[in-house]
Amino acid sequence: MRFDISIPPLVLLVYNPETPFWDAPGSEKSPLNQDTTNCPRCDRRTPAARGDCIYCGERLPFAIIQSAPPQRNIDPGELAFNTVLQPFPARINESVVTALASALQIESSEAQALIDSGKPVPLARSQTRAEAEMITALVRTCGLRAVVIPDQEMSLEREMLRARRITPNDDRLHVHHAGGEMTLMKEEVRLLVLGELRSVRVDYTEGISARRGQSSSVLETSEFRSDETLLDVYTRSVDKSFRIKSDAFDYSGLVSPLSFRSELNFKAALKQLRADSPQAVFDDDFPKMRSLLGRAWPERSRNESRGIKRTLTFQAVAQASLMSDNRDQFDRYSRLVFLSATRAEA
């Protein structure tokens, strides 16, 4: 018996990185959309708002974008650039709100809240200045004011002194901290920023499956929450400013008589500091600004393993904890308020 087998011809595909497939002879390049551009070096399409080509790294020319790119998760320790919406003194009409909502791809109610806050608000955090500048230009086309503020300008790497005790004396404040003592004139205090640090830790235990690819089940969870009030006290320089943590402060220098409740001692100490420094600006808007800050400066979370153990029935289980807090968010908000106040005085 005889069989006829036909073998299809082989096709050899060759990729030439120097000539993108859409530029091959006889093909037509499809039009660019509103937020993409061709790289001047490799001629590949890349998001215009990135600032640099995602393929070859070439610096892209400045482009007018119609909408801001999605916010990327940038590590807090990485130096980035913030697009900050500035307070607008004039009355804003509905068309401006609609334009901002469309530009940032958010709800109109959120855009209205950003404008109504009356404070500098971060709209985006970008890896490159070019991207931040394009988002800033986009916000300005909506009829609003915005500026680019680099992380480096906020001096986040310079930690404030942790005050342990404060003793007022005539026209001076003696600030005791772990490294010694610092003396300030009361008139040097320029700004007080009140905040609240919220920490959440979720401990969970999950079973370990013996079969590869089979998902494990969570056997037990427990949640712990803690709140702590913070007060940042600024002079003209961050190096001569300090932070008070309500749970790690000796109130005997500012409050007499002392209360058994820490929150009452903190309120009394704050009242005394404001009385000693009447020229200082007091900012307590952080709680109501938290939801607006989350777009560019979200709360940070991390997952930590606590090892493997065996239960009473000799079942192997994995233990881990999911922790989140808003420390980085408040640090950035506090420095932004300080930077804005410093610029207003200049």
Q: What is the pLDDT of residue 275?
A: 94
Query: What is residue 176's DSSP assignment?
Result: E
Q: In CATH, what number is assigned to the domain containing residue 90?
A: 3.30.1390.10
Long-range contacts of range 216-224, CB-CB < 8 Å, 24 or more positions apart? 216/318, 219/317, 224/200
Is residue 134 domain-shared with residue 231, that is, in the same domain?
no
Structural domain includes residue 314: yes
Is the domain of 91 the same as that of 12? no
Answer yes or no: do 91 and 45 share one domain.
Answer: no
Across the beta sheet with 121-126, what order do the strands follow? 121-126, 81-85, 146-150
pTM for the whole thing? Answer: 0.79
Q: Are residues 215 and 295 part of one domain?
A: yes
Q: Which of 6-15, 171-180, 201-210, 331-340 has the lowest mean pLDDT?
A: 6-15
Higher pLDDT, 62 or 87: 87
Indicate whether 286 pLDDT > 90: yes
Residue 188 predicted with pLDDT over 80: yes
Q: Domain boundary residue among 120, 154, 188?
A: 154
**Is a pLDDT exceeding 50 seen at residue 17?**
no
Domain assignment present for residue 19? The answer is: yes
> Helix 286-293 to helix 108-116 angle, to the nearest 10 degrees?
140
Q: Which of 33, 63, 93 is the last residue of a domain?
A: 63
Predicted local confidence at residue 26, as pLDDT: 43
Q: Are residues 327 and 181 in the same domain?
A: yes
Alpha-carbon span 192 to 187, nearest angstrom: 13
Beta carbons of 222 and 322 less than 8 angstroms apart = no
Residue 22: per-residue pLDDT: 40
| C-alpha span between 251 and 244 (Å, rounded) | 10
Domains identified in the chain, total number: 3
Structural domain that includes position 293: 161-345
DSSP 252-280: GGT-SSPPSSHHHHHHHHHHHHHHH-TTS
